[in-house]
Amino acid sequence: MGWCWLVLCKQPSSSICSPGWLTCRSLPPGALGRIADTVADRLRVPWFAGAVKINVSLVPPLVLLPVFLHVAALHFLLGLVILTSLPVVVLWYYYLTHRRKERTLFFLSLGLFSLGYMYYVFLQEVVPRGHVGFSQVVALTCGLILMLAALSRAKKDPGYIPIPASSDKSSHQDLPKSVRGSCNGLPGVTTSGPASNRAVNGEAKGYSRMSAEELEGVKKDWCAKCQLVRPARAGHCRLCGRCVRRLDHHCVWINSCVGEQNHQAFILALSFFMLTSVYGITLTLHTICRGRTPFVALFYCPGAYSDYSSALSFTCVWYCAIVTAGMGYILVIQLLNISYNVTEREARLALRDNTGRRLLGGLVIDTGQYNRGFLCNWGHFLSLGSSPPQHSAEDIV
């Protein structure tokens, strides 16, 4: 039962079913939003245990991507227009959802379906031509499997900091009253709440007076939304609504944060994707543009539109090349950040506060705060997640 149906409830006279829509009268404020919510709520797929609701953001890639690629294969100019428009549309939708602070499965769905569809076209259109060996198909398949395994690991817990129980939140509404610096520069909570009542003339027995610098450090690490003191380098993700240890960024392509626990898997997934994609592009171009190097064939392949099968394969190659170029840029930025031991979040904050140095033409922002040299920085990255996570402020207090 691979179909789905759309059931729209009866709308009041002021909604889309009213004659006002047919007479081109303006819709009331919020009508389009209610229409979208109604469509999203009524879009379901029949299943054994009853109709299953579909996330509407999953549908466009499944429907539009094959249509656009097949239309682009009809003529060179159509391919040029469509392949130029697709990145623009994707970027527009990214900025739209990012501005609204919305989580969406659109990008994850687009990425996974693109992989599956490109693999299907490769098996259906390229392999039957007889120029791709069995071992090459196996190598491409293994690369795809390894990439999906790394992606599955990257989708797991990025290092969320446990949110204190509701019963404990009331006692932590105010900032902790004092902190001390540890040997590695990470703040630690020493006392809070009633302990401050024992202070006499600004000092207390067994407690030290907190300086303005320490107070500023506590304010910086305090998350008002999660009601906790974050460890150093942790950050609050406004899309996930959680604090993450060593938060790098929220990646829309995996619909999750990249943090201390999944950063390595994220880099592995990007690396396997790059290797697999470049290998698949090379095999396809060697098949449909024989006698030319892959780079030359990508821009000059006279026989690409001689038949529809070659045209579709060539169009998919260009689509893969555009996606690979974008992912390659992300991977390069990530590798440079790791080499300087800086996260995307720290780089943005450094740019905002004008405290970082632009290096390599602005590709990386060196904050200088955690940079210990190339080898030490990579050693630190490879050890992420191997040591037990630091305790939260609620466990210390």
Residues with catalytic annotation?
A: 251
Q: Which DSSP symbol is given to 91?
A: H
Question: Cα–Cα distance between 320 and 284 in angstroms, integer?
Answer: 11
Determine contact, residues 281/294, Cβ cutoff 8 Å: yes
* CA 283 to each of CA 119, 172, 328: distance values in angstroms, whole numbers, following the listed order: 12, 60, 19
Task: Identify the CA nearest to 309 among candidates 129, 138, 169, 132.
Answer: 129
- What are the respective helix, strand and coil percentages of the chain, to the nearest 5? 55, 10, 35
Q: Give residue 230's Cα distance to chain centre.
A: 22
Q: Which two tokens stand for residue 18?
A: 């009213």
Determine contact, residues 16/35, Cβ cutoff 8 Å: yes
Question: Cα–Cα distance between 263 and 268 in angstroms, integer?
Answer: 9
Q: Detail the DSSP E strand segments found in 122-195.
A: 178-181, 187-191
Determine contact, residues 357/365, Cβ cutoff 8 Å: yes
The secondary structure element, H or E, covering residue 232 is none
CA angle 231, 234, 239 (to 5 degrees): 140
Q: Which two tokens stand for residue 306?
A: 């001689």
Q: Which DSSP symbol is given to 174?
A: S
What three-state secondary structure class fits 27?
Answer: coil
Q: Which DSSP symbol is given to 44?
A: E
Determine contact, residues 240/250, Cβ cutoff 8 Å: yes
